[in-house]
Structure 1
Amino acid sequence: DWDSPGEFTFAYEVGMAPAFEVELDKKLGVDRVLVEVDDALLDKEIADMTRRFGKLEDAQVSEAKDMLLGDMIELDAEGNIKEGGIMNRATISLEFLEDEHTRSSLTGLRSGDEVQVDPHKVSSGHDDLARMLGITHEQVHHLESSFLFRVAEVKRMVPMEVGQELFDRVFGQGAVEDETAFRAKVKEGMEASFERDSDRLYLRDVLRKLEEKHQVELPDGFLKRWIQETSENPVTPEEVEQGYGEYAEGLRRQLLQDGIIEKYGLEAKGEELDAFAKRYVADQFAQYGMPAPEEGEIQRMAGRILSDRDQLGRIRNTIVERKLMTHFKAMLEPKERRIPLDEFVNLARS
């Protein structure tokens, strides 16, 4: 009775984080895996560049990589144009269609030709289909009609030749003057990009290995009760049990990571957060070809970013992740090995 103060007895149930000591040494045995940028991968990247900087030209008859501009017209159950139905100007990129039959039905067409299509097979997901037909996301979920596609234009991407114009477009005026230097610079950029992926994979693999080495015991019973008591929506013990394995794995990894951060002083410091936010602001202006504002304005914009809890958390996590990767590479001195891109992707998904 809070209105009649007296002696109260409170009961608490406390779940204690397990105590453990993380030791990092070279015997951990985790390789750092890099992507082998071979000639085939390099050729594909350069081919993509020639298309990216190519020109769209009119074509007479559609081929497998062309774009079709035309009208999507809703049909009724009998295959006739539906009165009051959906009609919208749309673009279909044949190159990105997954259904081979649909792509085949859209090749060999000229301006004015008509073909019946399944709208779900000429779009990539509900959002794309909603934009294509000019309807809402909710309407897409109930869409079962076939459509008539009436071709208005056939467009073909003509790749840019591998030459000085392409070199200048990719790297700037006069930065590269021959194909050998161009290929070397493209390869260097690809390796730098894959390097970041290798770092993230290495960080994941080290933490997994540490989990195996340090069997962190959690107060499972307490945690399951805590999840059930604190869940926003009511959950049954069976539901808690079903998702507990994944939750416990993530918690063990976080405890290990926090222990390493504390032991080796890898926290994100205030000045690092500030510098990161200011660099982010400057990069945003540079991305759109705009000059960076005065230092005072950058500082004010960075301050607004850091005052947002979600953005502050993302910045802190990014800084700590980079510190962990740098620390692991320095302390563990991993062996490096290169593998083809498809093997790397499968490894990252495992």
Structure 2
Amino acid sequence: MTQFGYTVMTEQASPVDLVAHAVRAEESGFDFAVASDHYFPWLDTQGHSPYVWAVLGAVAQATSRLPLMTCVTCPTFRYHPAVVAQKAATVQLLSGGRFRLGLGSGENLNEHIVGGGWPPADVRLDRLDEAVQIIRALFQGGHVNHRGEHFQVESAKLWDLPDPPPPIGIAVSGERSCALAGRLADLVIAVEPQAELLHAFDRHGGTGKPRVGQLPVCYDRDREAAVRRAHEQFRWFGGGWKVNAELPGPSAFAAATEYVREQDVAESIPCGDDVGRFVDAVRPYLEAGFTEIALVQIGGASQLPFLEWAEKELLPALRAL
């Protein structure tokens, strides 16, 4: 049966509110939660970006059954992979085994802050490949030494090692990332309902593994207000991964989406309170073969009304599919 998740969207709420949202999501009956790992919001109008690993630690303690996952962490620029392994192991312990480590090749938006430049996509994937191997080695226990093209590890060891270690997910957007995920990941993550991505994942070893999709929605009893909010905060979403991964900051995202209209956003993101519209947006993910689908409710102040509505109306309709 398909599982439906909630996104702890760090770009649009304070850390205190994010924990409260996750607690309410568990109470509302969501099957799992994912959390974004950013240093910047995409647009200034979103207004937040706390340190997600501290938030995850708090959520792990404030909830009791809700599975958690980063969606996604880049383990190659801001963070060294050995440090990511330590973070993930700690959250797995704090959550009692409810954590999955979602990884990706990153976005210039967040990774530029360390001043290391922003290489082309093929180099970023090479770095991700090497990083995942380091993380897996550390999850196996013992001391790890690594002399690679991109990373050095000197006698590293995780002293607090969960059993089992967190499963690893990898975000995909094309053939090469699908090949990497099929070879190294326990699950695949995508933000578009493209069956060809899942087929490529399967060709490279992903058959039978979970596949997690994510899509934005904007609930509001006032549909016009929902459309305005989606446009103000999420109009960047339609730019596509190849563009979004390259832009260096919120001002660049604002400039790139200057001519995106409210009606353009409303055509790609379900807005309002029509359950059927939301179900129709989810359906392509089911048809593509996703086993888990995480919803992103747009707007920090709208989370609790959305979660109440989801509990009473949306989740029952989705499960009826």
* TM-score class, shorter: under 0.3
> Comparing both chains, which one has the higher relative contact order based on Cα–Cα distances under 8 Å and sequence gaps of 6 or more?
1
TM-score normalised according to structure 2 size:
0.20
TM-score normalised according to structure 1 size:
0.19
- The structure with the largest alpha-carbon Rg is 1
